Amino acid sequence: MQQDQLYIDLGLSENQYSKEVIAGQQVYTSSFLRVYDLIVLHIISRWLWRCPPQNMVDLYNKYLSGNHLDIGVGTGYLLQKAKFPVEKPSISVMDLNPNSLIESKRRLAGIAGQLNAYRANILEPIQTKEKFDSIGMSFLFHCVPGAIRKKASVAFQNLLKIRKPEGVIFGATGLHDLGQTHLLSRKGMKNLNRKGVFHNTEDTLPDLEAALKENFKDYELYVIGAIAFFAGKKAK
C-alpha cells in the first residue's frame, strides 16, 4: 500500500514559517515512535514536567466525543487509553509527520468505526469535508514555532472552522514559565529548545489564557507541574 493511500495530504505552503514547523516534527521517525510512549510520556512528562500521562488521559476522558479529531497525535497512545462515549467512534488523526499518522492509524484501527488521517499544518487554513464534535491536541503547541498567544490564537481560529458549534477544542502543552520553577524541567526545556524540538521560550500561562479569551466565551485552564491543560467551548 502506498503512503498516499494511508493519509490525505491537505497541502502545505512554502513560507519560512511552515518550514520551521515542518523541521520541528522531523524527530518523529519510525524508530523513535517505537519508544515515544516510554520516553516522552512515562519518563519525560512524569519526571521532568511533573505530570504523569494519566492526567492527559483524564482530560481526554472528560472531553472526547464519538466524532473526534486529534492533532499532533504522536502514536495514538492517549486515544488508546481514553474512554470514548460510544462503542465505535469516528476518529480522525492529523499531523505533519507521516510516520505518526501511519503508526496511530495502525494502533487505532481496532477502536474506530471510521478512521481518517490528514497531513496538515494547524497554522494554515484546514480543509476537511467533515466537522468535529471534539478536537484534541496534546503536547503540540510547545513544538510549534512562535509565541503562544499568536500561534494558539491562529490555531483556534483555524480549528473553529472545522469544529461543530457545540463542540470543544482541548489539549495540553508545556509552558516555559511553568518549567522555570523546577530544576529538571528548566534544564529539559532549555535543551529541547536548543535542539529545535521545542519552540516554547515565549510561551507563558498568561499568554495562553489571553489566546483562549480572544477566541472563546467559555474556557477551562489549569496547571499540573509544567503542563497547562485547556479546553475552549463556546466560541466568541
The one-letter amino acid at 209: E
Check: CB of residue 81 under 8 Å from CB of residue 41.
no
Task: Find cell 499544518 and name the residue.
Answer: 121
Spatial CA neighbour of 61 closest among 79, 76, 77: 79
Burial 74-84 (b: 16+ CB within 10 A, else e): bbbbbbebbeb
User: What is residue 15's predicted lDDT score, i.e. its pLDDT?
Assistant: 53
Q: What DSSP line would sit under 71-127, residue for residue? A: ES-TTSHHHHHS--SSSS-EEEEEES-HHHHHHHHHHHTTT-SEEEEEE--TTS---
pLDDT per residue as tens digits for the range 65-91: 999 999 999 999 999 999 999 999 999
Please determine, for residue 195, whether its predicted confidence score (pLDDT) is greater than 90. no
Domains of the chain, each with CATH number or no CATH? 19-121+144-235 (3.40.50.150)
- Evaluate if residue 2 carries a pLDDT over 60: no
Of 3-7, 80-84, 93-97, 201-205, which range is least confident? Answer: 3-7
Sign of the CA dihedral 158, 235, 104, 204? positive
Residue 139: band (very low, low, confident or very high) from pLDDT cuts 50, 70, 90: very high
Per cent of the chain over pLDDT 70 is 92
Which is higher by pLDDT, 12 or 31? 31
Give residue-wise pLDDT tens across range 165-174: 999 999 999 9
Checking if the pLDDT of 17 tops 70, the result is no
Q: In the predicted model, is pLDDT for residue 3 greater than 60?
A: no
Report the SS3 class of residue 198.
Answer: coil
Stretch 55-64: mean pLDDT, rounded?
98
Helix or strand holding residue 208 (H, E):
helix 205-215
Q: How far apart are CA 216 and CA 208, in angstroms?
A: 12
Q: Are 100 and 28 contacting, i.e. CB atoms less than 8 angstroms apart?
A: yes
**Widest CA span in the chain:** 48
Element (H, E) at 19: helix 16-24
pTM, full prediction = 0.93
